[in-house]
Structure 1
Amino acid sequence: MKKDTFIIIKNNKKEIPKNIFIKTSLLYKEKGILKFLIYSPVIKEYASYTLFPNGLNLFIYDQNTNKYTYLSADWVKSINKIFYHIKGNIKIMNSKGYFLKTEEIFWNRKDKKIFNKKYTTIISHSDKTDKIILHATNGIEATEDLKKIRLKSISGTLPVK
């Protein structure tokens, strides 16, 4: 079956999307306040999940700082808009200058946590600090805004003065 096929086989039954959106930008607000913006070339909505088979670009806006966190990936599956499985060329950048790069990550929006067990690189660079590069060979656990990060089996480059 080709990657672009719209039918997914689940328990020997063909599952057809309820909705398919092409070249879509979604702007989400709560009480008139911008929360996030998503752009995706293709969005497929199924009964219990949403699939972004050609990836997405996501901007999560923080009203308190008037800044955003950016995420891009090649493939995303959203289950009930709470749990996300994200794969392929993942890049996350927050407003403080942290940049994360990996190939697979899981995001629990309810707990506001991201985690994986894959090789992950984090680069910290801001106007106030020198560049720090860390490699987690066994994955990470972090808050979704990357303010708290726990790296597993790390190595890296730290500036020494």
Structure 2
Amino acid sequence: MLTFEFQIVIKKVMLLITTTLFFISCESNFKEVQKINITEINPVGEAQDFNLKYTDSGKIKAVLVSPKMLDFSTAEFPFNEFPKGINLTIYDDNANKSFVTSNYAVSYGSTNIIELTGQVIITTHDGKKLETEQLYYDQKNEWFFTQKPYRFTDRGSIINGIGIDFSKDFKYLDTQQIKGTYNL
């Protein structure tokens, strides 16, 4: 026969085990309830070996190549994602080529902003080169900008800095926190 004190200890242990199991089961249910408010966004389209040629008046203006494009055009904030990067060739009015590459890109439809990340490199037909890890392009204003570190090379001059804004043809540059020598 169990003593009265031993019976109380067993009841307390059982109560502790029951309470612990209750909180563990509630924790799991609570996590499930939290997931209800998370909206999963799925692409409405996917393209492999994507190759887009943009023409104007019968002339090729740009060629965009990417191993993969995901179309999220039905999302509340529509966008196209290029998870494996892009290679973009841009032609000016004289058919000169400039090149843009990045490891990842997102094009936001409602703002006309393109975000390039991961080894972003722009090389122009006249030898200018910009390298950075993140760069934005405002399609409406034809303007590039970043607040990340960059390296800009032009005819032997090298500028390193943090933060730069410039026009698509590099005629207008606004550099911040620069280091280096630049020949004018």
Alignment TM class, shorter chain as reference: 0.7 to 0.9
1:115 equivalent to 2:145? Answer: yes
1:15 equivalent to 2:41? Answer: yes
Q: Which TM-score applies when normalising by structure 2?
A: 0.73
Aligned partners of 2:102, 2:178: CA distance in 1, in Å? 23
Partner of 1:50 in structure 2?
80
Larger % of helix: which? 2
Partner of 1:74 in structure 2?
103
> Identity over the aligned pairs, expressed in percent?
24
Q: Is the 8 A contact 1:69 1:145 kept in 2?
A: no
**CA distance 1:157–1:50, change in 2 (3 Å):** same
Gaps of at least 5 residues in structure 1 are 1-10, 126-130
- The RMSD of aligned alpha carbons is 1.7
Using CA pairs under 8 Å that are at least 6 residues apart, name the structure with larger relative contact order, 1 or 2.
1
Larger % of strand: which? 1
Aligned length in residues:
143
Amino acid of the residue matched to residue 25 of structure 1?
A: N
1:133 to 158, 163, 166: 158
Q: Residues 118-159 of structure 1, C-alpha deviation per residue, up to 9 Å, x if partnerless?
A: 11100012xxxxx100111x2100002222211101111346
1:101 to 131, 140, 158: 131
Runs of 4+ deviating beyond 4 Å:
none
1:148 equivalent to 2:178? Answer: no
1:26 to 39, 45, 52: 52
Gaps of at least 5 residues in structure 2 are 1-36
Q: Which TM-score applies when normalising by structure 1?
A: 0.83
